[in-house]
Amino acid sequence: MALIEDYGLIGDMRTAALVSREGSIDWLCVPRFDSDAVFAALLGDESNGRWKVAPSCEVTASTRRYREGTLVLENEYETSTGTVKVTDCMAAEGPGPTVVRVVEGLRGTVEMRMDLAIRFGYGLTVPWVRSSDEGISAVAGPDALFLRTEAPLSSEGMTTVSDFEVGEGEVVPFTLTWQPSHKGQPVAIDGDWAVENTERRWAEWSTACDYDGEWRPEVVRSLITLKALTFEETGAICAAPTTSLPEALGGERNWDYRYCWLRDAALSIEALMLGGYTDEALAFGAWLQRATASHPSQAQILYGLGGERRLSEETLDWLPGYEGSSPVRIGNAASEQFQLDVFGELLDAADRFRSLSGKIDPVGWPRQIAALEHLKGVWREPDEGIWEVRGPRRHFTHSKIMVWVAFDRVIKAAEEFDVECDVEGLRFIRDEVHTDITTNAYDADRNTFTQYYGSEELDAATLLIPAMGFLPPDDARVIGTIEAIERELMTEDGFVLRYSTGSGRHGVDGLSGKEGAFLPCSFWLADALAMVGRRDEAVELFERLLGLCNDLGLISEEYDPATDRLIGNFPQAFTHLALINTASVLGGFKLLPRASAAPL
């Protein structure tokens, strides 16, 4: 199986596929990001489904790139007899999600091989395959895939194959379209046209980006990735297109990230606004309002792409997992957890939207007040926290800070727009929360905030204290917390762990073993360093983080310093959002903090 960083991403804002350097699509869910996979070799082997198009002879060199400003991927392979290019994309228009692969001869003649193993149901179900003049159809239950090509096709066991030659100037296209099986065969789509149309659509979108600061290429690529992870039908932003890529190779921290987390909400809105993508920001905001439309006591930290609430977690025993990292999970039980920070995330996102619209949302405002009324009664309770621990509930410092944020942002709006609400009462609770945190979460002997009340453990989420406006950057407690995290949560490579997970024992998250450096936390450290006046160090850290992106500009959730590899779900929206945010902070495009008044 390929390294995680060796994959490229193609997508159509409904779903996405991962393409390896060797030309194998090893992961694809249809018709949505969170649907069953039809190619699941990423979490097993080729018998669990894949689609490979590559030279059948020895490859002496290969290069790959995205066409500028697009999600159209090109792989060039050099062989002893010639050079060939394989262009991959998901069609911007089509009868259903369609993967397009176009083989083009550049020099000499190259012998090619196509291997297509379709396995519905996450690599479990072998479809019934029938041949036609245009290609094949593969049907199993509600799903059907249709392969069209002029290349000769045959079957080997349970796999469809094609051996063909491509000479200089010759072009051989393949299209693979999903459609519900009851609808029959979909309308054909021309491969060459689909590539050019898709390239044009992406180029038009990316060239409209308003961000013109330092690190623009990296920011634009991250914005394209964010757009690719947007479920266009509803406006939701998928955290990652994959499930169960491990946070530690061979470990059990394997989660399904094909959903939308509210913790990403404020950053997503800010990133889209920085790029000038107001329509996308508004669409995401509309999704937020729909998804969270319920009594505040029923708020969740994550939802399905349509706003679904039931995301029941189960394991797929027939898949061994990426490099033996089991279990493979679908669904996410964190949706059932109690997490206080959800209220702060929502109301911070609402604050971003007010800055975009310049007015109070008449629909959202009563719901924000209702959320605070509920929060008044529950903020003193323990919760599972931002990291969704599977251990006992605790009074997590970050969760309490986000409670403070919730009250603070509503106070800010009430003062700015002169709307009627009990501002004095809200100020009293905000100050009470602030005192509670500074009294119970601060270790005076070590001059640092800890992970939870009464704990000696540290948590990289406390790096967000100045960014949230809870304390000013020059506060000694902020500086002390940064220094403590540098001492105790940094790897030898200088990246940041989320928190201490222990060594061969169960940590605060209730799971055994260690995980890699959590990359958004390293970006948070760069932000914090810049805010306390250590900009040169912040830039140096940021540049090293950029160096972890693969050659296509994609980055995952975590990094394993022991093996120098990316780990975790890939590509990860949260990490790309943090990248955009840090570039804007270091480039002076963002004003922080966002608090309504000077903290206590």
**Could you tell me the CATH number of the domain that includes residue 80?**
2.70.98.50
Q: What is the pLDDT of residue 108?
A: 98
CB 30 within 8 A of CB 95: no
Q: Are residues 283 and 224 in the same domain?
A: yes
At 464-482, the pLDDT tens digits run 999 999 999 999 999 999 9
Q: Are residues 178 and 296 in the same domain?
A: no
263 shares a domain with 193: no
Are 161 and 155 in contact, with CB atoms under 8 Å apart?
Answer: yes
> Do 308 and 353 meet the contact criterion of CB atoms below 8 Å apart?
no
Check whether residue 334 and residue 409 sit in a common domain: yes
For 498-524, the pLDDT digits (tens) are: 997 643 334 565 555 578 899 999 999
Query: What is the structure's pLDDT at 504?
Result: 35
C-beta separation of 356 from 311 below 8 A: no
Contacts of residue 456, defined as CB under 8 A and 6 or more positions apart, other chains included, come to: 443, 450
Shared-domain flag, residues 84 and 220: no
Same domain, 119 and 9: yes
Indicate if 173 and 246 belong to the same structural domain.
Answer: no
Residues 6+ apart with CB under 8 A from 176: 51, 98, 99, 101, 116, 145, 146, 147, 148
For residues 148 and 31, membership in a common domain is answered with yes
Say if residue 490 is in the same domain as residue 535.
yes
Least Cα distance to 359 among 413, 397, 315, 301 occurs for: 413
User: Does residue 599 lie in a domain region?
Assistant: no
Assigned domain for 89 exists: yes
> What is the C-alpha radius of gyration for the chain, rounded to an integer number of angstroms?
25
Give domain status of residue 593, yes or no: no
Which tokens hold the place of 377?
A: 């009664």
Specify whether 468 is located in the same domain as 532: yes
pLDDT along the chain (600 residues), means of 10: 95 98 98 98 98 97 98 98 98 95 98 98 97 94 97 95 98 98 93 98 97 95 98 97 96 96 90 93 93 93 96 97 97 91 93 86 91 96 90 95 97 92 95 98 97 96 97 98 97 92 48 79 98 97 98 97 96 97 87 47
Residue 422 forms part of a structural domain: no
Single-letter amino acid, residue 112 = M
Is 571 within the bounds of a domain? Answer: yes
430 assigned to some structural domain: no
- For 449, 469, 489, the CA distances from 484, given in Å and listed in that order, are 9, 20, 8
Q: How far apart are CA 224 and CA 216, in angstroms?
A: 12
Q: Rounded distance, CA 408 to CA 12, Å?
A: 38
Please indicate, yes or no, whether residues 164 and 247 belong to a single structural domain of this protein.
no
The CATH number for 254's domain is: 1.50.10.10
Tally of domains in the chain = 2
Boundary (domain end) residue, out of 205, 238, 255: 205
**Beta carbons of 75 and 53 less than 8 angstroms apart:** no
Tell me which residue range forms the domain holding 463. Answer: 208-416+445-586
**Residue 340 near residue 320 (C-beta atoms within 8 A):** no
* Same domain as 263, residue 177: no
Phi, psi of 167 (to 5 degrees): -100, 170
Calpha distance 215→449 (Å, rounded) = 32
